[in-house]
């Protein structure tokens, strides 16, 4: 069960090898999290994450393999994960790829792959778990979106559009979950130094997985609907969204 | 998940519930029952359908004790019938949903008062038993269940009548058992005689916590009721300054020239209602410090023999409807613990931490408990009990309370489960060492584990928290190992 501060005891993570997801889990294990099901497609990465989480105090960590683009398996995996935990306090949806804008934008299959991995798959995952949580009568879905989806820009529009789609879907689902006991929180990090961004130039307001994790925990504690990480990005993107296109094109990052 | 077939006449509706602290909501199928028979019927149907059940009264427990996510919550408040009353002896038998407010309205004018009154009249008798509630007279009279002579309990195997002499194990497991041994259907209470509806109250200020401890230790025994309000924000030499209010029921001679009928008149009203939930942060260290300053200065250094009404003395907050909204939309937690006499350093430590961290508790209350009763999960044990409210939201709150848990457990103390919404589950067994004994009784009457609450799930105190996962993990690891081998081979 979640406690008064929203701290979960059990969690399912889809995209269990994500640097941000693992940082969030470590932060939650330091509080109440004890039993975890990690879902992902990279078995070696999952095994590493298992060791890491057990080292910080998780009692039971299981893994399940799933490629979220295989949407036909999503429902089964969600039910299986829920059965293993008994009660699902938190679902962290962290599956995603950055893609390579330069080559992807002329490659129909690559574009479809990024959008399926980042939008279609996670939306299917969220749908499966939303049904479970509604029946269960409580539980929180935390979705890793991105500020890149706030206003999609030329330099990464494939990724940005995928996150914009996911973010919109999550906003709608959050409304749909009102009054069911379950809830949904959207996390919009800025540029985070992870494996995903290795070798790329940091954007302004660059942050780290642990800093994002701290913001996520704080967001849960205050029942936030949306968490920006770092927090000033809420204001920054609030302004950037309104900029005329002429100026928007000149914004660095 | 299927909604159980509603028995004839018993309405079941899905509702999102929280405790008084308004944290950790969960959706439950609420069955409103109006009689003992309906309680039996709902329970039988739920047990047959394999659904989890817990009873709920007026929902004044602060945390998640009276909710069961996805399960059935039996709302007993409509079963508020006075079944038997002996005005000669003060023995009354009432439906579990009867509130202490209703009891007082019915019996104070006839010269009988509830044996134990908490800080609110809006609790049911069933809830009072399940939490084994206490009042300002614990040092003198013990907790609520010490005045319950008999109760009828609905269990999955049928209705049982228990008393301290008749299946004492089940009676005492139910006292403070958080509703997990069954649903209290009705209970017989021994009320206490009063001549008036007033209290004769002595008020005094204590300059700091040590002064307060000394004053209470020296003279609490002279009073039936005693409580200290603590200014948790005062610092330095004023740290823990307090206002003590102590008293007893006034006699007819105290209220002269009022006649007996007038002296027993009891008709408190709700003077104000918190209409909406204000934004979080209304109660912060600045506003609370200002309030505390006022409250402390308003109190006299010493005033004796003041007459106060029952509502003013026992239930000041009941005058403000839905005051729990004041903490804002995120709600609040009330932390109440008890440490044995001799652990005054722990008490000082806790008050110092609240003061140092500017944790603004709107209501901080210190009391002395007398000896506990035989209930294995009953909260009160002889010692000091401190309670305070803190709004949820600040990131420092969770870790602070976790540290306090360690301090309290280390001093041989415990937190009050009726207030809890966040205890680290690993500490439950340390704080309640008789848990195994309680579990044995509970498993005897509810072997299938029908009675479940969010509290019992969160703290894992009715059974093992979940099926073992080890075999599957081994399998996953084996697969991972295979994959690693393949990878190495291909590399």
| Predicted confidence (pLDDT) per residue in A73-116, tens digit | 999 999 999 999 999 999 999 999 999 999 999 999 999 999 99
pLDDT of res. B8: 59
* Mean pLDDT within B244-268: 89
Residue B112 pairs in a beta bridge with B193
* Mean pLDDT within A148-155: 94
Q: Does the beta-carbon distance from B395 to A221 stay under 8 Å?
A: yes
> B283 pLDDT band (50/70/90 cuts)?
confident
Question: How many whole angstroms separate alpha carbon B286 and alpha carbon B291?
Answer: 9
Nearby residues of A234 by Cβ (< 8 Å), 6 or more positions away: A226, A228
pLDDT of res. B3: 44
Q: Which of B71, B424, B483 sits opposite A43 (nearest CB)?
A: B483
Chain B residues lying within 8 Å of A218, measured CB to CB: 395
User: Helices (H), strands (E): how many in chain A?
Assistant: 10, 7
Question: How many whole angstroms separate alpha carbon B223 and alpha carbon B171?
Answer: 30
> B360 pLDDT band (50/70/90 cuts)?
confident
| Predicted confidence (pLDDT) per residue in B5-45, tens digit | 445 568 899 999 999 999 999 999 999 999 999 999 999 99
pLDDT at B482 over 80: no
Name residues 313-372 of chain B within 8 A of A (Cβ): 329-331, 333
Question: How many whole angstroms separate alpha carbon B238 and alpha carbon B92?
Answer: 46
Helix axes A121-136, A71-85, angle to 10 degrees: 30
Q: Does the beta-carbon distance from A47 to B477 stay under 8 Å?
A: yes
Report residue B14: phi and psi, to 5°.
-75, 125
Q: Does the beta-carbon distance from B479 to A43 stay under 8 Å?
A: yes
Question: How many whole angstroms separate alpha carbon B299 and alpha carbon B207?
Answer: 12
Write out the E strands in A94-217: 139-144, 182-189
pLDDT at B109 over 80: yes
C-alpha dist (Å) from residue B3 to A34, B56, B82, B456, B457: 30, 18, 32, 22, 21
pLDDT of res. B258: 67
Q: Does the beta-carbon distance from A47 to B473 stay under 8 Å?
A: no
Residue B254 backbone class (left: φ over 0; alpha: ψ -120 to 50; beta: rest): alpha
Mark B150-166 as b/e (b = at least 16 C-beta within 10 Å): bbbbbbbeebbebebee
Report which of residues B393 and B212 the model is more confident about.
B212
Question: How many whole angstroms separate alpha carbon B448 and alpha carbon A69?
Answer: 41
pLDDT of res. B428: 96
Question: How many whole angstroms separate alpha carbon A95 and alpha carbon A11?
Answer: 15
pLDDT of res. B151: 97
Q: Which of B1, B458, B466 sits opposite A35 (nearest CB)?
A: B466
| Predicted confidence (pLDDT) per residue in A194-245, tens digit | 988 888 888 889 999 999 999 999 999 999 999 999 999 999 999 999 999 9
Question: How many whole angstroms separate alpha carbon A153 and alpha carbon A161?
Answer: 9
Q: What is the count of residue pairs from A and B with beta carbons less than 8 Å apart? A: 120
Using a CB–CB cut-off of 8 Å, the residues of A that contact B are: 1-7, 9-10, 31-32, 35, 43-44, 46-47, 50, 60-65, 84-87, 134-138, 179-182, 217-218, 221-223
Q: Does the beta-carbon distance from B24 to A46 stay under 8 Å?
A: no
Report which of residues B4 and B446 the model is more confident about.
B446
Question: Which ipTM value was assigned to this complex?
Answer: 0.94
pLDDT of res. B9: 66
Chain A residues lying within 8 Å of B469, measured CB to CB: 35, 60, 62, 84
pLDDT at B490 over 80: no
Residue B190 pairs in a beta bridge with B91
Per the structure block, which two tokens stand in for B178?
Answer: 């958080």
pLDDT at B279 over 90: no
pLDDT at A148 over 90: yes
Name residues 111-170 of chain B within 8 A of A (Cβ): none
Lowest-pLDDT range of A166-175, B171-180, B462-471: B462-471
Among this protein's residues, is A159 annotated catalytic? yes
Instruction: Find the residue in B nearest to A5 (Cα).
Output: B392
Interface test with A, best of B424, B465, B482 (most A CBs within 10 A): B465
CA distance A22 to chain B (A): 18
Chain B residues lying within 8 Å of A35, measured CB to CB: 466, 469
CA dihedral A24→A29→A30→A32, nearest 10 degrees, is 120
Question: What mean pLDDT value characterizes chain A?
Answer: 96
Instruction: Find the residue in A nearest to B17 (Cα).
Output: A181
pLDDT of res. A201: 86
Nearby residues of B335 by Cβ (< 8 Å), 6 or more positions away: B387, B388, B389, B390, B401, B404, B415, B419
* Mean pLDDT within B292-311: 92
pLDDT of res. B463: 60
C-alpha dist (Å) from residue A223 to A141, A215, A218, B11: 12, 12, 9, 32
- The DSSP bridge pattern shows strands A10-14 and A90-93 to be parallel
pLDDT at B4 over 60: no
CA distance A213 to chain B (A): 13
* Residue B281 touches partner A, C-beta closer than 8 Å: no
> B369: number of CA atoms within 13 Å, CB side?
27
Report which of residues A147 and A202 the model is more confident about.
A147
Within B343-416, residue ranges assigned H as helices are 344-356, 397-410
* Mean pLDDT within B196-224: 97
pLDDT at B470 over 50: no
Compute and round to an integer the Cα radius of gyration of chain B.
Answer: 24
Instruction: Find the residue in A nearest to B468 (Cα).
Output: A84
Question: How many whole angstroms separate alpha carbon A119 and alpha carbon A162?
Answer: 5
* Mean pLDDT within B297-305: 91
Q: Which of A85, A87, A179 sits opposite B16 (nearest CB)?
A: A179
Do B53 and B451 meet the contact criterion of CB atoms below 8 Å apart? Answer: yes
Q: Which of A36, A125, A158, A159 is catalytic?
A: A159
Q: What share of chain A has pLDDT > 70, as a percent?
A: 100
pLDDT at B474 over 50: no
pLDDT of res. A199: 86
> B336 pLDDT band (50/70/90 cuts)?
very high
Q: Which of B329, B316, B469, B344 is CA-nearest to residue B393? A: B329
Instruction: Find the residue in B nearest to A223 (Cα).
Output: B330
Chain A residues lying within 8 Å of B472, measured CB to CB: 62, 84
Q: Does the beta-carbon distance from B333 to A4 stay under 8 Å?
A: yes
> B176 pLDDT band (50/70/90 cuts)?
very high
Q: Does the beta-carbon distance from B483 to A44 stay under 8 Å?
A: yes
For residue B256, the SS3 value is coil
Question: How many whole angstroms separate alpha carbon B313 and alpha carbon B119?
Answer: 9
Question: How many whole angstroms separate alpha carbon B461 and alpha carbon B469?
Answer: 19
Name residues 215-234 of chain B within 8 A of A (Cβ): none
> B359 pLDDT band (50/70/90 cuts)?
confident
Chain B residues lying within 8 Å of A138, measured CB to CB: 24-27, 69-70, 454
Question: How many whole angstroms separate alpha carbon B490 and alpha carbon B480?
Answer: 15
Instruction: Find the residue in A nearest to B398 (Cα).
Output: A5
| Predicted confidence (pLDDT) per residue in A39-85, tens digit | 999 999 999 999 999 999 999 999 999 999 999 999 999 999 999 99
pLDDT at A174 over 70: yes
Do A157 and A100 meet the contact criterion of CB atoms below 8 Å apart? Answer: no
Instruction: Find the residue in A nearest to B486 (Cα).
Output: A44
Question: What mean pLDDT value characterizes chain B?
Answer: 91
Instruction: Report the sign of the C-alpha dihedral through residues A36, A40, A42, A45, in that order.
Output: negative
Question: How many whole angstroms separate alpha carbon A119 and alpha carbon A125?
Answer: 10
CA distance B230 to chain A (A): 24
Q: Which of A3, A50, A137 sits opposite B69 (nearest CB)?
A: A137
Chain B residues lying within 8 Å of A50, measured CB to CB: 477
Chain A residues lying within 8 Å of B26, measured CB to CB: 137-138, 181
> B319 pLDDT band (50/70/90 cuts)?
confident
Do B56 and B69 meet the contact criterion of CB atoms below 8 Å apart? Answer: no
Element (H, E) at B46: helix B36-48
pLDDT of res. B487: 38
Instruction: Find the residue in B nearest to A86 (Cα).
Output: B466
Per the structure block, which two tokens stand in for A34?
Answer: 């004890």
pLDDT of res. B10: 83
């Amino acid at each position: 069960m979640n406690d008064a501060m929203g701290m979960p005891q059990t969690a399912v993570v889809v995209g269990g090898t994500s640097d941000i997801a693992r940082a969030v889990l470590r932060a939650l294990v330091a509080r109440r999290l004890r039993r975890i099901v990690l879902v992902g497609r990279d078995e070696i990465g999952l095994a590493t994450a298992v060791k890491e989480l057990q080292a910080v105090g998780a009692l039971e960590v299981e893994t399940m393999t799933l490629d979220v683009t295989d949407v036909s398996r999503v429902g089964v995996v969600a039910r299986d994960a829920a059965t293993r935990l008994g009660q699902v306090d938190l679902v962290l949806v962290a599956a995603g790829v950055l893609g390579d804008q330069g080559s992807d934008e002329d490659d129909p299959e690559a574009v479809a792959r990024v959008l399926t991995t980042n939008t279609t798959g996670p939306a299917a995952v969220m749908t499966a778990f939303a049904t479970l949580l509604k029946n269960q009568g409580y539980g929180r879905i935390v979705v890793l979106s991105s500020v890149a989806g706030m206003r999609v820009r030329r330099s990464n529009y494939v990724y940005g559009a995928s996150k914009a789609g996911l973010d919109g879907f999550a906003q709608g689902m959050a409304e749909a979950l009102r009054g069911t006991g379950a809830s949904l929180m959207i996390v919009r990090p800025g540029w985070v130094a992870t494996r995903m961004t290795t070798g790329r130039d940091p954007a302004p307001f660059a942050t780290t997985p642990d800093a994002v994790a701290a913001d996520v925990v704080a967001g849960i504690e205050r029942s936030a609907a949306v968490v920006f990480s770092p927090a000033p990005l809420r204001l920054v993107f609030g302004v950037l969204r309104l900029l005329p296109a002429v100026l928007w094109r000149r914004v660095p990052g | 998940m299927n909604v159980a077939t509603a028995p004839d006449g018993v309405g079941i509706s899905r509702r999102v519930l929280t405790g008084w602290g308004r944290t950790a909501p969960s959706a439950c199928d609420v069955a409103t029952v109006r009689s003992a028979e309906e309680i039996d019927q709902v329970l039988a149907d739920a047990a047959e359908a394999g659904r989890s059940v817990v009873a709920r009264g007026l929902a004044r427990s602060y945390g998640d004790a009276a909710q069961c996510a996805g399960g059935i919550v039996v709302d007993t408040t409509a079963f508020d019938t006075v079944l038997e009353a002996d005005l000669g002896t003060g023995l009354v038998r009432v439906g579990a949903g009867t509130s202490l407010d209703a009891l007082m309205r019915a019996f104070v004018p006839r010269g009988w008062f509830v044996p134990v009154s908490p800080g609110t009249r809006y609790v049911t008798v069933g809830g009072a038993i399940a939490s084994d509630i206490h009042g300002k007279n614990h040092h003198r009279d013990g907790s609520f269940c010490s005045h319950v002579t008999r109760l009828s309990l609905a269990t999955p195997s049928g209705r049982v009548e228990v008393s301290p002499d008749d299946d004492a194990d089940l009676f005492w497991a139910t006292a403070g058992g958080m509703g997990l041994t069954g649903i209290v259907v009705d209970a017989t209470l021994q009320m206490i005689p009063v001549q008036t509806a007033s209290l004769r109250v002595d008020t005094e200020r204590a300059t700091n916590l040590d002064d307060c401890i000394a004053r209470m230790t020296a003279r609490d025994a002279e009073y039936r009721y005693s409580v200290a309000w603590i200014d948790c924000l005062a610092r330095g030499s004023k740290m823990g300054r307090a206002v003590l209010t102590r008293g007893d029921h006034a006699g007819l001679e105290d209220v002269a020239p009022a006649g007996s009928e007038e002296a027993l008149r009891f008709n408190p009203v709700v003077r104000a209602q918190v209409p909406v939930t204000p934004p979080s942060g209304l109660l912060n260290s600045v506003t609370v410090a200002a309030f505390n300053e006022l409250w402390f200065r308003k109190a006299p250094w010493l005033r004796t023999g003041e007459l106060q009404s029952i509502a003013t003395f026992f239930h000041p907050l009941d005058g403000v409807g839905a005051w729990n909204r004041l903490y804002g939309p995120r709600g609040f937690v009330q932390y109440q613990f008890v440490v044995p006499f001799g652990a005054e350093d722990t008490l000082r430590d806790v008050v110092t931490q609240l003061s140092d961290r500017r944790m603004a508790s709107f209501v901080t209350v210190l009391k002395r408990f007398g000896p506990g009763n035989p209930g294995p999960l009953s909260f009160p044990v002889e010692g000091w009990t401190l309670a305070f409210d803190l709004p949820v939201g600040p990131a420092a709150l969770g870790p602070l309370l976790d540290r306090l848990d360690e301090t309290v457990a280390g001093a041989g103390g415990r937190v009050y489960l009726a207030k809890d919404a966040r205890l680290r589950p690993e500490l439950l067994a340390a704080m309640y060492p008789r848990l195994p004994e309680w579990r044995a009784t509970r498993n005897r009457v509810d072997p299938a584990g029908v009675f479940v609450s969010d509290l019992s799930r969160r703290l894992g105190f009715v059974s093992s928290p979940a099926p073992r996962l080890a075999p599957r993990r081994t399998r996953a690891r084996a697969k991972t190992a295979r994959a690693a081998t393949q990878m190495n081979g291909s590399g």
